[in-house]
Amino acid sequence: MPRKKVTDISGNGGVKKKRTSGKRKERDFSSDDEFDYEQENNKKPGKPAAKSGLQPVTVADDVKEKIKLDCPKVKGQLLIFGATNWDLIGRKEVPKQQAAFRNLGQNLWGPHRYGCLNDIQVSCVVSGPCAAHSLLLTTEGKLWSWGRNDKGQLGHGDTKRLEAPKLIEALADHVIVAAACGRNHTLALTEDGTAYSFGENKLGQLGQGNQTDAVLSPAPISYNGQPLVKVACGAEFSMVVDCKGNLYSFGCPEYGQLGHNSDGKFIARAQRIEFDCELIPRRVAIFIEKSKDGQVMPVPNVVVRDVACGGNHTLVLDSQKRVFSWGFGGYGRLGHTEQKDEMVPRLVKLFDFPGRGASQIYTGYQCSFAVSEMGGLFFWGVTNTSRESTMYPKSVQDLCGWKIRSLACGKSSIIIAADESTISWGPSPTFGELGYGDNKPKSSTTAQEVKTLDGIYIEQVVMGYCHSLVIARQETQQEQERLKKLPEYNPRTI
């Protein structure tokens, strides 16, 4: 039976807002200093989320599932390489208030061990393609953070930058199983499915029902529905998935990245464009596919299994191994052969065939990846904006036959753990995040094995804006000896 054509895809019967025309420039990473937030500051701090008439999602206790999420099974030692001058990453200069830190933190061109973590078993490491801060989970479910902290995104109750990982005391009584980093905000997920958020909240990206400059300590999001099982962060928005496979979003709706059929723009006084932000988690109500002749059809029975966010776009993997994408369409990062923004999740056609589904999804700042169920890696979007964009998912031929275990992409560099090797590549300029070592090439346009990690089995790879973090296995005496030969990084502090 053919799928029914849909004309209104607003998800809640809302009226579409008129879009302003004209070419939009993607916001630069340093723009948190330059972007004019005057309209947000004029709003009263802690303003309730009454504007949209939305109430926090609530489920009666007797209907609510009782779950206990497992901590990641991985365990090993954390290694770091790339830029560690946290306040300068992605900016032309260090902000005046952080001037004392201007020369603190160097570029590490090869893998280093953190001296303070020699006895810590790490089970998961977290950063993001537009993040200059990082998180790690220990095997006991404790969350540590370090890096840039202008907006309290480290969760320590202050805005003091941290050179090395430190336990988040406010969450020490909880078992944390997952976390996510946005540009200046952080989400953490406990074993019972509760999400905490902290950091910048000017655009409602913390989901706490208000808009404030910064929240310095972890607080629960405004949500009392089914337990959550996944969290993800874009630059200034967030996504959470519940145990039933429902997706919720909150934060800045620019480019349609929240999936609610609107970019949230409206013209305020003096022609100033403002955004109608979602301050509490709101369910993404509809998923669609588009035919070649432009017909829009709803896709039923979407049960979300995984979610990944780039700077301004999102990918979802569902229980039927289908991939959906939406948000900012520039450079082909959505994989729909056009550069149009998508306001609601749209099916990526390539993975909608029997035996051709996806098993893993990943996002970079302005690109997307999927590993097919046959093990092939597909890429779309762009890592180098001066080169041609890939407008739809294309197989990465260099990695044919490799079994990919973990993949991460920062602003423009890519790192992969596959089989017994670690592979990376990325265009210049780089800051050491490729890990090739001192006096070695600084960039590569083709996939290269990271020789500095030869003989070291990498369990997980993660990239921030221009730094890399990997978890190295240390189960045997031989593996421990190899790790001990790596240099130790003990950062200077003020």
More confident residue, 15 or 467: 467
Q: Is residue 427 reached through a cis peptide bond, with omega within 30 degrees of 0 on the bond before it?
A: no
Q: Which pLDDT score, from 0 to 100, does residue 266 have?
A: 87
Q: Which pLDDT score, from 0 to 100, does residue 96 have?
A: 84
Where is average pLDDT lowest: 12-16, 114-118, 443-447, 469-473? 12-16
Answer whether residue 397 shows pLDDT above 80.
yes
CA within 13 Å, CB half, 466: 26
More confident residue, 162 or 22: 162
H-state helical runs in 122-241: none
Residues 6+ apart with CB under 8 A from 477: none
Answer whether residue 14 shows pLDDT above 80.
no
Whether 182 and 240 have beta carbons less than 8 Å apart is answered as no
Strands 488-489 and 107-114: parallel
More confident residue, 233 or 265: 233
Of all residues in the chain, what percent carry a pLDDT higher than 90? 81
CA within 13 Å, CB half, 22: 5
Q: What is the Cα–Cα distance from 456 to 470, expressed in whole angstroms?
A: 11
- Domain assignment present for residue 242? The answer is no
- Domain assignment present for residue 120? The answer is yes
- Domain assignment present for residue 423? The answer is yes
More confident residue, 416 or 24: 416
- Domain assignment present for residue 73? The answer is yes
More confident residue, 102 or 411: 411
Query: Which of 9-23, 60-74, 144-158 is modeled with the greatest confidence?
Result: 144-158
Whether 162 and 173 have beta carbons less than 8 Å apart is answered as no
More confident residue, 105 or 301: 301
Average pLDDT over residues 374-393: 94
The pLDDT tens digits of the residues spanning 311-346 come to 999 999 999 999 999 999 999 999 999 999 999 999
- Domain assignment present for residue 85? The answer is yes
Structural domain including 91 reads 69-127+400-493
Task: Report CA-CA distances (Å) from 224 to 241, 285, 426.
Answer: 13, 18, 42
- Domain assignment present for residue 317? The answer is no
- Domain assignment present for residue 442? The answer is yes
Q: Which pLDDT score, from 0 to 100, does residue 50 have?
A: 42
Both tokens of residue 186?
Answer: 């952080």
- Domain assignment present for residue 434? The answer is yes
Both tokens of residue 488?
Answer: 């130790």
Q: Which pLDDT score, from 0 to 100, does residue 53 have?
A: 63
Q: Is 197 exposed, middle or buried (0-12, 13-18, 19+ CB in 10 A)?
A: buried
The pTM is what? 0.90
Residue of 216, 237, 183, 232 whose CA lies nearest to 30? 183
Residues 6+ apart with CB under 8 A from 399: 377, 416, 418, 423, 447
Q: What angle do CA 211, 212, 215 make, to 5 degrees?
A: 120
Q: Which pLDDT score, from 0 to 100, does residue 204 have?
A: 98
- pLDDT mean across residues, the chain: 90
Q: How confident is the model at residue 352 (pLDDT cuts 50, 70, 90)?
A: very high
Q: What is the Cα–Cα distance from 360 to 370, expressed in whole angstroms?
A: 6
Answer whether residue 98 shows pLDDT above 60.
yes
Average pLDDT over residues 215-222: 98
Task: Look at the chain and report how many structural domains it folds into.
Answer: 1
